[in-house]
Amino acid sequence: MSPMADPEPGALQPLLPADPSTIAGYRLLGRLGAGGMGVVYLGRTESGELAAVKVTLADHADQPDFRARFRREVEAARRVVSPWAVPVTGADPDAPEPWMATAFVPGPSLGEAVRAHGPLPERSVRILCGAVARALAAVHAAGLVHRDVKPGNVLLAVDGPRLIDFGIARATGETALTATDMVVGTPGFLAPEQAEARTDAIGPPADVFALGCLLAYATTGRPPFGSGAVDALMYRTVHDEPDLAGVPEDLLPFLAACLAKNPADRPAAEEIADRLTEGIPGTSADWLPAPVVTTIAERSAAMLALPDIDATAPGTDPAAPARTSRRGFLLLGAGAAVIAAGGGAFALLDRRDDTGADGKHPAPKPRNNWAIGVLADLSGPAREIGRAQERGARLAVERFNAVHKGKPFTLELKVSDDRGERTGALAAARRLTTDPSVLAVLGPTSDDTGIAALPAFEEAGLPLLTTSAGYNLFTLRGESGGAPNTTVLRAIPNHFMASVYLAWSTTLLPQIRRPGVLQERTDDQYSWQCNSGARFGFKQAGIKPYFRVVPGRATDYRSIIGEMIDSGIDAYVHNGVRSTAVLAARALKELGFTGPRFTGQHVFGPEFLKEAGSDAEGWFVCAPVMDPVQRAADPKEKAADRKLTQDFLDAHSKRYGTTPAFYTGESFDVVDLVTSWLATSAAKGPLSRKGLWGALRKQKHTGAMGGYQFQDNGELTGIGTFLYGVQKGAYKYLGPAPAEPQKKA
């Protein structure tokens, strides 16, 4: 996050063309913020760690004494040791543009969290301000004054807050207020002696005053001296009493002391920490409200996807003699050369004009027949899902044509079967991407085929909307300054997030203390991402799981599960594919295990029930899709929403003579989202692929299966994970997965 300006939530911005690609060994991945003094980048160190790198512009650095001061303060800041202060990891005051690096915390700032989710509950505030007070005590013990304690400088992490930007490069006689980087809303966090620029009077109590403002802000959502014009704000800070309406009563006297006009009357930071956290056992895993935790989880997922392989590794030179022998290795995964070449190719393609799919034709002429594509596994291992997706898409297109009767255009459905095979997927994709009538494509069904097919869509600038592919990097990429996702919209959660929600679903059963989590490597990209999500989710819930990893070819689940039971597991989580879940279900039953069993997307579906038979009874399965029949009958849904679902059921029944399979409804909705946008936009100008992804991404669509909204990176907003229980050989819909871990009694 930016110490210089509060970025918008989730704001990791791409590098600008003028930005360097490295600073002093930090490979820059994106911008975290910018202000008048300089820029804060997200960088990666040579050792691979993420860092916030703050660079001061040369103009400012050339002010008299700046560098000496900068150096002194860096040295002092390095002495600050507190679990609640972000450590300085590197600095160079003598560089033409002096820079300082600190460890990077992916959480939102307090300011972002309050703006997005409102004030925090009292317990969270006590833990928050107690920890910030302890960080300030460490700052003061190091002989420093922070001078800029504000919501933008407090980052929220799962295990507690972190204070950033302590005491760096604050000029003597210069208050933060005069820095050009101040944005409206933060001046309200200055002490009177700062507001009056009484430099000699500025000491640790100024930070205590700011902490008081922070506490008031976190509990009420408002700075205690208001906001608005800076001079009026300064006047109020110096002369007026703070507005503390809404602050819990037992915090009031204490807060008033922090906000005393006379610095000498304010308590010391250490004392504040003790008083705030009295009776609260340290920080705990569940200190933040659920929506804030979700924000942290989403950002952590994005960080997981940040490329970390340097483009300068060997093999990039095509003339290198070892090329052939190295190729096999590169293909296996550490392929820096492939990254460099691949990245370069995509960068070129990105710069291409919208000249049509094959690059030869000028922009397409207005036409009145357009097509929606479907790229799906219609004959391979995931054909049940693929066929369901095709049916949903067909229904949406037919309905569009029935309603619009050729005006302004008729839509066709063009279907390409990728057979669930990686090798043929690219060719299957090109059948759609090279067809200029195709405006958007529903697909892919599977992660593997999607990985193979994606380049075709990126080349062609053709939006790809998936209702079943959860592989993280379809959307979570590009933060490195390379090409971000501008191709995929994902109407389901990625595997990491889905697994976080699965972990939180287990907490609906309060007795679970030690779940056994099995990572089974048949589909390794799925299972390791699920495992990472489970690790995060259980940590947040304060639960320590017992992890096991087994090869994909392992079949002796009796001994694997037996060993887990002997280790004392009281629940079982299967992060793996269906065939092994069937083996696990049998083993659990044979061994007489009585605890609950959970699994996720790649097990969900009718085949699991068929293959596991009675062994599946009682399992809980988290899926990214809803059952429309149960939704239409769910009294918890609004009547208007249920009607949309019922209309879809009726249309499906009329068209196909059956109730829809899983994934049909979501596919119908996603194609409906596209056709609705096309219908309203056709009047405004010729349709084209250009800009379509961005336009679709901004849609807020209410469909038969619920609402859809997307984040900037094309990820679904919201939970999108639904819990089913296997009862009498069928999936009984139990409700959406919880948005937070259930508190233990």
Measured from the CB atom, is 55 or 306 closer to other proteins? 306
Among 306, 488, 565, 583, binds other proteins (CB under 8 A): 306
Q: 308: number of CA atoms within 13 Å, CB side? A: 13
Q: Does 540 bind other proteins (CB under 8 A)?
A: no
Among 602, 585, 467, smallest CA distance to 531 is for: 602
**In this chain, which stretch among 9-17, 226-234, 297-305, 589-597 interacts with other proteins, using CB under 8 A?**
297-305
Measured from the CB atom, is 301 or 396 closer to other proteins? 301
Q: Is 262 exposed, middle or buried (0-12, 13-18, 19+ CB in 10 A)?
A: exposed
What whole-number distance in Å separates Cα of residue 641 and Cα of residue 631?
A: 9
What whole-number distance in Å separates Cα of residue 203 and Cα of residue 123?
A: 29
Helix, strand or coil, per DSSP, at residue 69? helix
Phi, psi for 722 (deg, rounded to 5): -125, 140
Among 24, 309, 629, 682, binds other proteins (CB under 8 A): 309
The size of the interface with other proteins (CB under 8 A), counted in residues, is 73
Measured from the CB atom, is 85 or 259 closer to other proteins? 85
**Of 621-660, which residues contact other proteins (CB under 8 A)?**
none
Among 399, 477, 578, 697, binds other proteins (CB under 8 A): 477
Measured from the CB atom, is 273 or 565 closer to other proteins? 565
From residue 409, alpha-carbon distances to 75, 678, 686, 736 in Å are 68, 10, 11, 38
In the complex, the smallest distance separating the C-beta of residue 249 from other proteins, rounded to whole angstroms, is 42
Q: Residue holding tokens 């429309």?
A: 628
Measured from the CB atom, is 186 or 529 closer to other proteins? 529
* 726 bridge partner residues: 731
In the complex, the smallest distance separating the C-beta of residue 696 from other proteins, rounded to whole angstroms, is 23
Measured from the CB atom, is 267 or 545 closer to other proteins? 545
In the complex, the smallest distance separating the C-beta of residue 358 from other proteins, rounded to whole angstroms, is 17
Among 152, 455, 537, 665, binds other proteins (CB under 8 A): 455
Among 185, 212, 242, 315, binds other proteins (CB under 8 A): 315
In the complex, the smallest distance separating the C-beta of residue 545 from other proteins, rounded to whole angstroms, is 9
Q: Does 285 bind other proteins (CB under 8 A)?
A: no
Among 146, 151, 170, 7, smallest CA distance to 85 is for: 146
In the complex, the smallest distance separating the C-beta of residue 532 from other proteins, rounded to whole angstroms, is 8
Among 680, 648, 690, 641, smallest CA distance to 667 is for: 648
Among 452, 464, 497, 723, binds other proteins (CB under 8 A): 452
**Of 483-512, which residues contact other proteins (CB under 8 A)?**
none
Among 29, 473, 512, 583, binds other proteins (CB under 8 A): 473
**Of 513-532, which residues contact other proteins (CB under 8 A)?**
519, 521, 523-525, 527-529, 531-532
* 155 bridge partner residues: 109, 162
What whole-number distance in Å separates Cα of residue 543 and Cα of residue 562?
A: 21
In the complex, the smallest distance separating the C-beta of residue 596 from other proteins, rounded to whole angstroms, is 21
What whole-number distance in Å separates Cα of residue 445 and Cα of residue 118?
A: 38
Q: Residue holding tokens 């952590």?
A: 300
Helix, strand or coil, per DSSP, at residue 570? coil
**In this chain, which stretch among 381-389, 390-398, 421-429, 627-635 interacts with other proteins, using CB under 8 A?**
421-429
Q: Is the Cβ–Cβ distance between 70 and 98 less than 8 Å?
A: yes
Measured from the CB atom, is 572 or 668 closer to other proteins? 572
Measured from the CB atom, is 153 or 475 closer to other proteins? 475
* Paired tokens of 324: 């052939």
Q: Does 304 bind other proteins (CB under 8 A)?
A: yes
**Of 548-607, which residues contact other proteins (CB under 8 A)?**
548-554
- C-alpha angle with apex 248: 218 to 126, nearest 5 degrees? 50
Query: What one-character-per-residue DSSP string does 71-135 give?
Result: HHHHHHHHT---TTBPPEEEEETTSSS-EEEEE---SPBHHHHHHHH-SPPHHHHHHHHHHHHHH
Site string for other proteins, 21-50 (x = CB under 8 A): ----x------------------xxxxxxx
Q: Does 448 bind other proteins (CB under 8 A)?
A: yes
Q: How many residues does the chain have?
A: 745
In the complex, the smallest distance separating the C-beta of residue 341 from other proteins, rounded to whole angstroms, is 6
Among 95, 341, 509, 695, binds other proteins (CB under 8 A): 341
In the complex, the smallest distance separating the C-beta of residue 380 from other proteins, rounded to whole angstroms, is 17
Q: Residue holding tokens 């703070």?
A: 242
**Of 81-120, which residues contact other proteins (CB under 8 A)?**
89
Q: Which positions are annotated as active-site residues?
A: 148
Measured from the CB atom, is 552 or 725 closer to other proteins? 552
Measured from the CB atom, is 68 or 334 closer to other proteins? 334
Q: Is the Cβ–Cβ distance between 339 and 382 less than 8 Å?
A: no
What whole-number distance in Å separates Cα of residue 570 and Cα of residue 567?
A: 9
Q: Is the Cβ–Cβ distance between 547 and 515 less than 8 Å?
A: no
In the complex, the smallest distance separating the C-beta of residue 321 from other proteins, rounded to whole angstroms, is 6
Q: Does 421 bind other proteins (CB under 8 A)?
A: no
Among 454, 561, 623, 726, binds other proteins (CB under 8 A): 454
What whole-number distance in Å separates Cα of residue 306 and Cα of residue 301?
A: 9
Measured from the CB atom, is 180 or 312 closer to other proteins? 312
* Paired tokens of 623: 């899926």
Q: Residues near 250 by Cβ (< 8 Å), separated by ≥ 6?
A: none
What whole-number distance in Å separates Cα of residue 56 and Cα of residue 59?
A: 8
Among 345, 348, 363, 633, binds other proteins (CB under 8 A): 345
Q: Does 183 bind other proteins (CB under 8 A)?
A: no
In the complex, the smallest distance separating the C-beta of residue 345 from other proteins, rounded to whole angstroms, is 7
Q: Does 334 bind other proteins (CB under 8 A)?
A: yes
Among 180, 325, 594, 680, binds other proteins (CB under 8 A): 325
Q: Does 330 bind other proteins (CB under 8 A)?
A: yes
Among 206, 339, 585, 644, binds other proteins (CB under 8 A): 339
Q: Residues near 513 by Cβ (< 8 Å), separated by ≥ 6?
A: 543, 570
What whole-number distance in Å separates Cα of residue 644 and Cα of residue 646?
A: 5
In the complex, the smallest distance separating the C-beta of residue 534 from other proteins, rounded to whole angstroms, is 10
Handedness of CA 528, 531, 535, 541 (dihedral sign): positive
